[in-house]
Amino acid sequence: GYRRRFGARVRLECAASRRHATSRFSTIMAMSVNAFIVALLVTCPTLAVKKGRPWDLTLRGKEECKGGLESLKWRICKRDPKTKVQDEGMFYSLPRSSSTWNNEDCILATVPGTVFRSLLENGTFEGIDNDNIYYADNLAKVPDINATGRDFYTFWYVSTARIRLSPECGHPGSSHVRLRLRSVSYSLTVYINGEEKTDVMQPSFSQEGMFRRFEFPIPLSSNPNSRTITANFALLTRPPPHPGAAGPKGGQGGDHEIAKNAAMMQCTAGWDWIQATPDRNTGLWDEVSVVAASPSISVTDPLVTTLSIDPSTQTGIVQVSFFARNLAMELISGKIRVNLTCPNPKSREINPPISLSLSVTLKPLESGDVTSGNVTLRKIGFWYPHTMGQPTLCRGSARFEADKSTEIIPEFVAPASKWEFGVRMVSSYIDPELGGRVFQVNGNRTFIKGGNWIVTDQLLRYSTDYDRYYNEVLMHKKMGLNLIRVWGGGIAERPEFYKACNRLGVMVMQEFWMTGDNNGRWAGSYDWPLNHTIYLAAAKDTILMHRQHPSLMIWCAGNELHPSRLSPSEDIRIGLRDLVQTLDPARFFILSSMGNYTDYDTEYALAPKDGPYGYLPQEEFWKINPGLIFWNGTRADKLRIAFQPELGSVSTPTIESLVRFMPPDDLNQFPLGGNMSEANAIWNFHKYIPYNGMILNYSTPTTIEGYAYRAQLAQYQQYKLLYEGFTERMWSRYSAVIFWKSQSPWPAFRGAFYDWYLAQTGGYFGVKSASYSPQHPLRIQLNPNSRSITVINTSPMGRENLFAKIMAYELTEPGSALIPASQLTFGPFNIDPDESVRGIGSVHDTQGKVLLWRLELVQGGQILASNEYWQSSWSAPQDYRPLGILRNRDPEAELDLGFRGCCTLPSAEWKVVTVSVKNSPKGKSNASFAAFGVRLELHHNPNHKFNPTPNPNPDLNPNPNIDTRVLPSYASDGYFGLLPNEDRKLTVEFSAHLKLEDLKLTGEAWNFKKQDLVFESSIGCFAIC
């Protein structure tokens, strides 16, 4: 086997003599593997690692002696099922020079990264690579594990590192160096320097499960004073034992067998909104690092529990905990030295640190939390979701010091660890009027507007990318969403995700890895997963890893589980409760997102029913439980659903994104009807669902560009009205609404407010227009069913002497004249804190005309809130076909774009350019029409140097700069109306590393062609915003 796999020659480079020994591999094949290893070591006792190689690693720093291994030169090598794992592991983890790798079974690898990712990057599949895997149906052209068998995706990850221990990390003899794996999929065997290694954290458990952490000891140098260690890694990763069959249409976890695995991302086998991942995400998909730590004790996973707060004195009382493990066979004792620092919200300075000391005494192999007494923090800010206030973060640092009487080396001082935490209290109660749960943050009830989250990328290519996580969470914040539900068929999200949520003030509901689709309710078995011990071990690791995050609000056992006596199984149900109660006792825990309306138990599930999933007429969103029906077709409007964990609809990316994953011929076969069967194979492959005639309601499109624009307008209205409808009945019927889904792990046509490329859709701006914030706590909105005005106050302060003003303008006639009968003023009226006032006044019917409605909430001449709608009727189905005539009336009409300034945000991470958008009569007709559906996009200037987006299909589109957009960038508004001669100021945020003079702004409207604003080279963004 080795002869075939490793070629005929082995090159040995020896540091001692610099001699090179080259021999025929066949001459040593008669030896046993062990004899060969001995011969190899005798021939070359010291591995030569040339100085300055890019994969050298130094552990340094007083914070934590840790270094990532992503910069090493990693390879993946195909596992030979005919060879013993022990033989392969010893061979791969021996010193070697690069010529050893000149064989067909070892290729360069990306770490972190799955096996499938590395295969794509090496061109393993003809014509398909890392850039075009989502193009057309390329994903289906790759061999699926169900057809190939598990061996096809079973590989060794192999690399060598020279690790230097800096003085800050302690004396070499007093610490151990470990390989740390934050997660692996699915099972793992580790060899280092020719020896198999066992996880030191949980050595009695098998090394499997997608969401478990592992640490493996790296042998120290034979010289006790040496600070340099050479580590040869060979890590065998295997796919899950039950990969499941994906099926031609995906299905909810394919054939459901994927749920037999312990702690597994179930949607990797496909769902009705995603195709299956061929290797089921096998490999080193998460962070791989090396750490210097105590040989005998592990002190990790800090938790700051808030016991009480007093906003009047800005005081919080907390307890600090750490999870400690004794890894030795002797009694260990010592102290954890802790410093806590919090900012003063009034002075904006950091308060003096609070220092405390926790005594630790652990019996051999004992583990558990070490908790401080009560600690009082004064003059501090609290952590709030961004819709309520500032998400103030404090900082903690800790260092373990061993007692001199301890049997381990007494001089050991563990490297300091640092973390962020927030002082906040979360509670909940069952509201008898709503019939469901209400959550409170810091004593104030919190209306939850959220989105369901799967993962950033189905191939897990962004698992450690903080910038990617930050941008996705930031879009949720900018839409006004304050909670992300990490769905139970996805993953346990990574610390980078939680770090972004902490800083941006977005709460998290994290589910464990069960779904009613695969764990017994509708399919599969209540007994799954098969290995309950590993499942609970993964849950324990997940709780410990994330319990420090203030954004984490809810632990949930799974998605749509039922019935309570069976799902989850008794030992998992009890085990999860005990783990949360023991390790994270102040966090809310519930067993299921949704139960069943026939026997709904508020202590078991958050909701009795969820859904629906599809495009709804706008009038549905002002009815109770919009669009929801029972199995017999009757409406569910009498069912009390206070907390709605999911309801979903359509999603179509903009034309610029569509061309990145859809072939031209397929794009031009865009579906117009209300049946999924009318879409062609590629549209259905990307999970198309119909708009139920709404596309045609804007007139029949003749091009894909026209289709895509109509889709953006339809999404804008759908999601604006959805969130407005739920906000209308805030606290009278609802306490939470979470959309299915707010993001997508691949380019698709189902439920997302922005696409996989991080470009916003019309739906994003629709949700954004329905939002509120502490800076803008008041809303004015219009109920299309009753034609009445509602004003909503989300602040703790009441308002008096308010007036509501309403105006309507014709969209399809020159001049866009104000309709006199529509000009109405209602008031004065008052509104109490955290209250909605409905039925303030009503508007007249539009009489079949398409009008642009403007609403303003005014106090003393100051506009406190405004809103905008387009409507063709208040009493009949919408008919926007006259807008089709408007779109083609003047093909030369264009917007007037102007530069108004540029600055850099204080964080220095973003720049903000301010522009004016004016509707000036420009065009052949010189007629003054309203500009409808105005949108802005920031682009790279193609005349300047930039990194173009890879072209997924150069044969069909030879232009290499297929997409010049700056992604992500954030326009302050989109798909709005501009009256003739109306001028609006807008801002666009973009990454601070870009120069404004290398960019251009593009503006267009439904009835105005694209117009560019090219920024001059003399413009800078040096001022601080």
- Residue type for 46, please? T
Among 141-150, 519-528, 920-929, the least confident range: 920-929
pLDDT for res 63: 57
Query: What pLDDT digit, counting tens, does each position of 122-131 carry?
Result: 999 999 999 9
Q: Has residue 615 got a pLDDT over 50?
A: yes
pLDDT at 724 over 50: yes
Q: What is the mean pLDDT of residues 518-545?
A: 96
pLDDT at res. 298: 83
Q: First vs last Cα of the chain: how many Å apart?
A: 65
As beta bridge partners, residue 337 has 357, 399
Long-range contacts of 390-393 (CB under 8 A, 24+ apart): 390/345, 390/505, 391/422, 391/502, 391/503, 391/504, 391/505, 391/550, 391/551, 392/342, 392/343, 392/345, 392/422, 392/423, 393/420, 393/421, 393/422, 393/502, 393/503, 393/550
What mean pLDDT comes out for the span 310-333? 91
Listed residue (661, 649, 677, 846) closest to 762, CA to CA: 649
Label each residue of 144-191 as H, E or C: CHHHHCHHHHCEEEEEEEEEEECHHHCCHHHCEEEEEECCCECEEEEE
Least confident of 279-283, 574-578, 629-633: 629-633
Quote the pLDDT of residue 948: 61
Q: At 896, phi and psi to the nearest 5?
A: -105, 110
pLDDT, tens digit, 9 for 90 and up, residues 207-252: 999 999 999 999 887 777 778 889 999 999 999 999 999 876 667 9
**Sign of the Cα pseudo-torsion (869, 874, 877, 881, in order):** negative
Contact 512, 546 (CB under 8 A): no
Domains and CATH numbers, the chain: 2-239+279-291 (2.60.120.260), 303-413+416-421 (2.60.40.10), 778-887 (2.60.40.10), 896-1014 (2.60.40.10)
Question: Which of 95-104, 181-190, 857-866 has the weakest average pLDDT?
Answer: 95-104
What pLDDT, on the 0 to 100 scale, is given for residue 807?
92
Helices (H), 645-703: 655-661, 664-667, 681-685
Mean predicted confidence (pLDDT) in 276-285: 97
pLDDT of residue 576: 98
- DSSP states along 603-649: TTEEES----BS---GGGGGSSSTT-B-TTS-B-TTS--SEEEEEE-
Can you spell out the DSSP letters for 865-916? EEEEEEES-SSS----THHHHHHTT-TT-B-EEEEEEEEE-TTSSEEEEEEE
**In the prediction, which pLDDT does 327 show?**
82
Residue 249, pLDDT score: 61
Report in angstroms the alpha-carbon separations of 504 from 688, 768, 856.
Answer: 32, 16, 29
pLDDT of residue 775: 87
Which pLDDT does position 831 carry in this prediction? 94
pLDDT, tens digit, 9 for 90 and up, residues 534-580: 999 999 999 999 999 999 999 999 999 999 999 999 999 999 999 99
Report d(CA 328, CA 343) in Å as an integer. 39
| pLDDT value at residue 543 | 98
How many percent of the chain have pLDDT more than 70? 88
pLDDT range class, residue 174, cuts 50, 70, 90: low
Could you say which DSSP state residue 28 is in?
G
Write out pLDDT tens, residues 420-446: 999 999 999 999 999 999 999 999 999
Would you tell me how many other CB atoms lie within 10 Å of the CB of residue 2? 19
- Least trusted range by pLDDT, from 153-167, 345-359, 814-828: 814-828
Least confident of 161-170, 388-397, 827-836: 161-170
pLDDT of residue 268: 96
Statement: residue 316 has pLDDT above 70: yes
Q: What is the pLDDT of residue 414?
A: 55
The Cα-based distances of 834 to 232, 296, 388, 796, 797 in angstroms read 61, 54, 11, 6, 8
Each residue of 25-44: pLDDT tens digit?
233 333 344 444 433 433 33
Tokens of 625: 């439980």
Contacts of 940 (CB under 8 A, 6+ apart): 946, 964, 965, 966, 998, 999, 1000
Instruction: Output the pLDDT for position 405.
Output: 59
Q: Give the mean pLDDT of 391-403.
A: 90
Lowest mean pLDDT among 148-162, 169-183, 799-813: 169-183
Q: What is the pLDDT of residue 56?
A: 56
Q: How does residue 20 score in pLDDT terms, banded at 50, 70 and 90?
A: very low
DSSP string across 791-806: EEE-SSS-EEEEEEEE
Collect all residues with Cβ–Cβ distance below 8 Å to 698 and sequence separation of at least 6: 710, 713, 714, 880, 881, 883, 884
Q: Give one DSSP letter per residue of 429-457, joined into a string.
A: EEETTTTEEEEEETTEEE-EEEEEE--S-
pLDDT of residue 945: 66
Residue-wise pLDDT for 921-973, tens only, equals: 665 555 678 899 999 999 998 877 666 666 666 555 544 457 899 999 999 99
- Please indicate whether residue 201 or residue 408 has the higher confidence score (pLDDT): 201
Where is pLDDT greater, at 891 or 740?
A: 740
Average pLDDT, the chain: 87
Question: For residues 413 and 391, which has the higher predicted lDDT (pLDDT)?
Answer: 391
pLDDT for 173: 62
pLDDT tier at 796, thresholds 50, 70, 90:
confident
Per-residue pLDDT at 132: 93
> Does the pLDDT value for residue 645 go beyond 90?
yes
pLDDT value of position 406: 52
